[in-house]
Chain A
Amino acid sequence: EAAVTQSPRNKVAVTGGKVTLSCNQTNNHNNMYWYRQDTGHGLRLIHYSYGAGSTEKGDIPDGYKASRPSQENFSLILELATPSQTSVYFCASGDRFSGNTLYFGEGSRLIVV
């Protein structure tokens, strides 16, 4: 069974603070993704990675950094969190061998106060 796990599942952060969202996949997929989900906007791509050591900008990368230290792990980093980054964040993995079927984690709900 494909598995993508995210941590933390829930987080309250203060404005200006640093937040790290972590993602681990056991699918051995090359590609990993971070999306945010907001009402009216659906799922928007923040950053993605083709493999360990690589990160690419998605559609809305401003205010976010990403890190892919290994095949299994992909982190999303908010260096200076702002209330506009309050959202639900989803990590996913996939690759062309899976027909790019994306396997999503259960989401991380972030509230920035």
Chain B
Amino acid sequence: GDSVTQTEGQVALSEEDFLTIHCNYSASGYPALFWYVQYPGEGPQFLFRASRDKEKGSSRGFEATYDKGTTSFHLRKASVQESDSAVYYCALGMSNYNVLYFGSGTKLTVEP
């Protein structure tokens, strides 16, 4: 079935470090890809999405590029801040995007 794999369960960085969280997907068709962020005690929040090959999504300094060739949608940020500490989820949606399938999440901790 359709699925998303996030290889890093936890990432620890210092402020101003460069961030990469890896996301690879497996889908029978042409999915839309999403990143969500979840802060402690809250529900996940939409960060951005991309719907076609080579499309870049971005928000709040985070970005990811849809790569159909490598089936990837890696999250990157050039300079992280302590306030970026959260859990990040990659997700894919098929058909009319009526259902989203989420990865296992990556907990980012940024030390001041």
B32 contact set on A, CB distance < 8 A: 100
Binary interface encoding of chain B residues 68-100 relative to chain A, with 1 for a CB under 8 A from any of its CBs, else 0? 000000000000000000000100010011111
Q: A102, B46: Cβ atoms under 8 Å? A: yes
A106 contact set on B, CB distance < 8 A: 41-43
Q: A42, B102: Cβ atoms under 8 Å? A: yes
Chain A nearest Cβ from B36, distance in angstroms: 8
Binary interface encoding of chain B residues 48-68 relative to chain A, with 1 for a CB under 8 A from any of its CBs, else 0? 010000000000000000000
Q: Which chain A residues in 81-107 approach chain B with CB under 8 Å? A: 90, 92, 95-96, 99-107
Q: B44, A43: Cβ atoms under 8 Å? A: yes
B97 contact set on A, CB distance < 8 A: 96, 99-100
Which B residues have a C-beta under 8 Å from some C-beta of A? 6, 9, 32, 36, 41-46, 49, 89, 93, 96-105
Q: Which chain A residues in 18-74 approach chain B with CB under 8 Å? A: 31, 33, 35, 40-45, 48, 50, 58-59
Q: B102, A43: Cβ atoms under 8 Å? A: yes
Q: List the A residue with the shortest CB-CB distance to B45.
A: A104
- Cα A64 to Cα B81 in complex, Å, equals 40
Q: B104, A45: Cβ atoms under 8 Å? A: no
Q: List the A residue with the shortest CB-CB distance to B96.
A: A96
B101 contact set on A, CB distance < 8 A: 45, 59
- Cα A86 to Cα B44 in complex, Å, equals 19
Known: A101-B49, A102-B46, A104-B44. A41 touches B104 (CB 8 A): yes
B105 contact set on A, CB distance < 8 A: 42-43
Write 10 A-B pairs (CB below 8 A) sorted by A numbering: A4-B43, A40-B104, A43-B44, A48-B98, A50-B98, A58-B99, A99-B97, A100-B98, A102-B44, A106-B42
